[in-house]
Chain A
Amino acid sequence: MDYDLLIVLIPTLPLAGFLVTAAIGRRLGKRAHWIPVGAVIASWAIAMVVVVAAVTGAEPFGEHGHGVALWNWIPAGSFSVQAGFFVDNLAAVLLIVVTTIGMLVHVYSIGYMAHDPGYWRFFAYLNLFMFSMLLLVLGDSWLVVFVAWELVGLCSYLLIGFWYRRTSAALASKKAFIVNRVGDVGFALGIIAIFINTGTLDIRESIGLLVEGAASLPIPIWIVALLVLAGAVGKSAQFPLHVWLPDAMEGPTPVSALIHAATMVNAGVYLVARANLIFASAPEVMAIVAVIGIFTAILAASIAMTQVDIKRVLAYSTLSQLGYMFAALGVGAWTAAIFHLMTHGFFKGLLFLGSGSVIHAVHEEQDMRRMGGLRKKIPQTYWTMLIGAIAISGIPPLAGFFSKDEILGEAFKLGFTWVWAIGIFVAILTAFYMFRLIGLTFWGESRVDPAVEPKIHESPAVMTIPLWLLAIPSVVLGVVLTWPGPPLGPVMGESGVGALTRWLEPVFAEGLELLGHAESEFALFGIDGALLAASIAVAVGGMVAAWRLFGVEIGPFRGRHRPEAVRALTARVPFLYRASANKWWFDDLYHLLFMVVGGRIAAAAWWFDRNVVDGIVNGIGALTRRTGSGLARVQTGRVQNYALGIAIGLIVMAGSYFVIAGR
């Protein structure tokens, strides 16, 4: 089987879908979705074939993957960029997430966007995004990755601002792009630094050269690592560049699910994992990664507690989960990070699509204070979202539990106790705000606008089916990927560890050596057991706390929403409450710094341009003319004055001749 062709097809199909739809979509009207959706499904199928081949190490992939060279993109002398794709197990794992969720979101959108005038445009953009994201995953040259990096940014811009008539959407999209650009600058410089250091832009080759020559590089490797990290931080919305993601919720919900939960925001994590060797050879930067990650995690979680917009809660939860992943990357638990990336991709995608279904049901209402009691009205959405919530809260045996616990466990075992401690605390918050969300949305009595109340209805199958399809992995994925023994073991090949670990082993082995991380044996009745218990405990704790305040209606558990208690609680910690509600004032701070002050500076520069730079130019002109008119005064029109002038000239002339002759 010609894998090269297949690999090339994976991204090109969506691209073709985009081009065709962009060209003729307008005329297709309501049928516009067929081509894009078809393209994505096809590319999913192919991707799966490739993935299986890759993870089973079939030829030509083998241990370390297989590359496809296309054309020499930039043949600038020594600086030559080979456009090409590369699939190894890491890429394969990402392929699973991207194509699967992408496909489901496409299907879901058929229903969700059904009544939107920009129907065709939406699908075109989605396809373009799929292409860019797949390019990002598959690119084998830093510059190709950078291209994809910017393209996904573009798509994000286009999709956030999809409803361009809404100024808020336009502003949000612009904010997203520019904030991302901040990170991209770092990334670009990092790429250049890599080129200066190694003279190549091929990812594997350059990393190899960097690591072996780490001691003697023109540009120290930690700088390279930092610059690359900047890109990752921007794309994955980590502190301090986290401000764009919540606003990005202005986009249609499928977009939030696909781009801002499941795929694009993971690019940062993917990038760091790709460059794990670079980071491994710059331990201090690793520490920074960990700090950034865990800080973002707690920051976002704290904000999520008080948000009332259902999508913003999810957005902040995404931030905080990404924070987990970065923390994992920081401590060197790369496999765990990728693991969480996968599971989170699925259940967060599920949650977002669910919230979309809710919003759809209550007619574009996003404020949870005007929801409640929807459990009966939209049961399928309710159940799927409940699954998602449990998954993210880390209740075994759902997916979230495994991945999150692995991160925390690894952190603890690798000696990053502080990361673990904070992580545990964040876990409480996570469970809390998730069930706050569930409670406010589905349980208790309805607070929905009476006018809308009667019209509430469950979403069509085209939307609910994807929900269920996402719910399944949210439940089982954790087990599947970590289960060592039968029945899964044989399928995935025998060995003590879970499938994912084994897949990623070739990718991360070298890095782990560099870090000196030994693969510790799993001890259920030892340290791991304790950690397990701890995570479960905090998850349950958070859940219960939420139930006490916001009510619960699962089988035996019954409780009702107690606003007064909530008010009492917030009254107890007024500062924390306001801080959380105002997102710790980051937006205001940035607005002051960059918009107000920056605007002033720009205005000053312009003033300088008009009055100083141009002023000098015009000044010279004016001066010349004034001198001219001054000299013109000599021309009095009276002969005698002229004659006197001549006489004086004569005297001076004769005098100067005397002087000259005298010498």
Chain B
Amino acid sequence: MTWSDLVTIGPFAAAVVLAAAVLVVDLIRPGARGPVLAVSLVGLAVIALLTLQTGSTTATAFDGAYTVDALTTFLDLLFIAIVAMTIVFAPDYLLPRGLPLAEFAVVLLFALTGAMLISASADLLVLFIGLELMVLPGYMLAGYHKGDGYSTEGAIKYFLLGSFSSAIFLFGLAFVWGLTGTTRISEVSDALSVLAAGASVSPGLALGLGFMSTGVAFKIAAVPFHYWTPDAYQGSPTPVTGYLSVGPKIGAFALILRLFVEALGPLRADWVQIVIVLAVLTMTLGNLVALTQTNVKRMLAYSSIAHTGYMLVGLAAFAAGRLEGLEGLLYYGAAYSFMNLGAFAVISALQKRAGVTSNLETFAGLGRREPWLAILMTLFLLSLTGIPPTAGFFAKAYVILAAVQASQDGASALGTLAVLAVLNAAAAAFYYLRVVVYMFMREPQSEQPALVHGRLLWSGLIAATVLTILLGVFPGPLLDIVGEAAR
């Protein structure tokens, strides 16, 4: 390994160091949250700067195992933002429950390293390890409220199914290695393009594809591999849920970009059909089941499944030959992250008082008790619904546009997909707006004194709000970025 290698992986390395540093800080000043927050947030800022700095040029390191390009930079920044927001939202929820902040931050930072590794990996083994490095902390975070039955239940379900899917994924990966004889993504795709150019795909490869698709579909919580999502999300501590609903999901999509789009690119024609089917199932089931939920966290879990479906629409459009699909996917990822984090932040803010459930009743009359929280929540929900002028709307419009284009290129299935997507969006409006109904059109059962929320939380919420609105009203800049990242 050379110095240039170190420079290239700078951000990643920095993330690892930061995790360790936070650990040390906690050893020095046990239980003090000020330093932890300060160190981690400042550190994240530094990492972000590093990322921007290194990301300015594409470079590869470790003889092609690690590569930095626009996509990496975009994803890394997104991950950093997600983690930062999660850390910002966490204290208000953790402290009343006597949960330490330091370990939380550390584990989260490890997850960050994993995600960054995925986004930068040019080697399938690195990709796999990165994936594990991203999800293992996820399991722990899910069970972070270890004294709580629900939290641990969610954690073990998440863990068991997660590692099950990892095994499946790995098995598929092994077959791909066996058939291509290499782990380097570029070489894999070369070898595959040779294969694909030749006769039909060999059964072994098909098997490998099947296993890998299953594993990945599980990670992004696509139907019918979504079962873990509702339980894990509902059980986890709310800030964690917020993180789980975006971090690992985006990470998994990053994996898809590296693995399917790049490594398995030559086999597009084969896997696009699967993606279309998955998209339909995922959108529809997610929304339909969400209609019947009375617990907002669980409802948002199902809604996150539905959003996976929308992103898959973008992926399908890309696979059908439209670069806009990929751009749409990335844009959607960013928009979705911020609005969803915002929504969960509001919930965890409400749950600051330990013992408060996330059932719909909690929201009754919120418009009276805490108007600002209610208004922000409404904004996030509208954005999730896809009402302009919000980020969610533009993201949806983007993927739908891509789908429409693809359909007019001849992939008529994509047209149906687009229509299904909008019909789903309409149905989704019902359950999102139901929360609004509770907040503004129902009276609270019990008049509780309004809570005081940390300045940190507010700043985080404001950040999420601003982003949600900006991405909706002035999508221009981000469009250029994703455009850059997509190619």
A interface residue numbers (CB < 8 A to B)? 624-625, 627-629, 631-632, 634-635, 637, 639, 641-643, 645-646, 648-650, 653-658, 660-663
Contacts and interface: CB of A to CB of B under 8 A. Distances in A.
Given A657-B274, A661-B205, A661-B270, A642 B228 contact: yes
Interface in B33-83: none
A628 B290 contact: yes
Contacts of B287: 628
A663 B207 CA distance: 15
B270 A632 contact: no
A125 B211 CA distance: 89
Contacts of B156: 639
B209 interface: yes
A658 B292 CA distance: 37
B157 A639 contact: yes
B224 interface: yes
Interface in B293-345: 293
B292 A625 contact: yes
17 contacts: A624-B291, A627-B288, A628-B287, A628-B289, A642-B157, A642-B161, A643-B161, A646-B164, A646-B214, A649-B224, A653-B274, A654-B206, A654-B211, A657-B207, A657-B274, A658-B203, A661-B205
A624 B228 contact: no
B285 interface: yes
Contacts, number: 99
A661 B206 contact: yes
Nearest to B291: A628
A635 B292 CA distance: 13
Nearest to B214: A650
Contacts of B293: 632
Contacts of A654: 206-207, 210-211, 214
Contacts of B225: 645-646, 649
A660 B288 CA distance: 29
Contacts of B160: 639, 643
A629 B293 CA distance: 9
Interface in B125-180: 156-157, 160-161, 164-165, 168
B191 to A, nearest CB: 16
Size bracket of the B interface: 35 or more
A417 B151 CA distance: 105
Contacts of B206: 654, 657-658, 660-661
9 tightest Cβ-Cβ pairs between the two chains A and B: A654-B210, A642-B227, A661-B201, A628-B288, A661-B206, A657-B206, A628-B291, A657-B210, A629-B292
Given A635-B227, A643-B161, A646-B225, A628 B211 contact: no
A654 B213 CA distance: 9
Nearest to B205: A661
Contact of B168 (A634, A635, A645, A650): A650
Contacts of B164: 643, 646
A661 B228 CA distance: 30
B273 interface: yes
Contact of A657 (B209, B218, B227, B427): B209
B200 interface: yes
B232 to A, nearest CB: 11
B260 to A, nearest CB: 13
Contacts of A648: 224
B289 A632 contact: yes
Interface in B263-289: 270, 273-274, 285, 287-289
Among A649, A653, A656, the one with the most B-chain Cβ atoms within 10 Å of its Cβ is: A653
A639 B289 CA distance: 19
B461 to A, nearest CB: 30
Nearest to A651: B210
B231 interface: yes
A657 B264 CA distance: 14
B274 A656 contact: yes
Interface of B: 156-157, 160-161, 164-165, 168, 200-203, 205-207, 209-211, 213-214, 217-218, 224-225, 227-228, 230-231, 270, 273-274, 285, 287-293, 427
Nearest to B215: A650
Given A634-B227, A635-B227, A657-B210, 7 more contacts: A643-B164, A645-B224, A646-B218, A648-B224, A656-B274, A657-B209, A661-B203
Nearest to A644: B227
A231 B77 CA distance: 79
A635 to B, nearest CB: 6
Nearest to B168: A650
A647 to B, nearest CB: 9
Contacts of A650: 168, 210-211, 214
Nearest to A632: B289
A663 B288 contact: no
Contacts of A632: 289, 292-293
A128 to B, nearest CB: 49
A491 B160 CA distance: 120
Contacts of B289: 628-629, 631-632, 635
Contacts of B211: 650, 654
Given A653-B210, A660-B206, A661-B205, A631 B231 contact: no
A227 B214 CA distance: 75
Contacts of A658: 203, 206-207, 210
A366 B100 CA distance: 99
A648 B22 CA distance: 43
B440 to A, nearest CB: 22
A295 to B, nearest CB: 62
Contacts of B224: 645-646, 648-649
A455 B400 CA distance: 90
A649 B281 CA distance: 12
B218 to A, nearest CB: 7
Which of A629, A646, A648 has the most B CB atoms < 10 Å from its CB? A646
Contacts of B274: 653, 656-657, 660
Nearest to A638: B157
A650 B214 CA distance: 6
Given A639-B160, A660-B270, A645 B201 contact: no
Contacts of B207: 654, 657-658
A486 to B, nearest CB: 91
A646 B161 contact: yes
B230 A635 contact: yes
Contact of B292 (A628, A646, A653, A656): A628
A661 B200 contact: yes
Nearest to B273: A660
A297 B168 CA distance: 99
Contact of B200 (A625, A629, A663): A663
Given A631-B288, A639-B161, A663-B200, A653 B227 contact: no
Contact of B227 (A624, A625, A645, A663): A645
A634 B227 CA distance: 8
A487 to B, nearest CB: 89
A656 B270 CA distance: 10
A478 B287 CA distance: 88
A299 B156 CA distance: 95
Contacts of B214: 646, 649-650, 653-654
A646 B227 contact: yes
A55 B107 CA distance: 109
A635 B286 CA distance: 12
A111 to B, nearest CB: 64
A183 B79 CA distance: 76
Task: Specify which of A627, A641, A660 lies most central, judged by the most chain B CB atoms within 10 Å of its CB.
Answer: A660
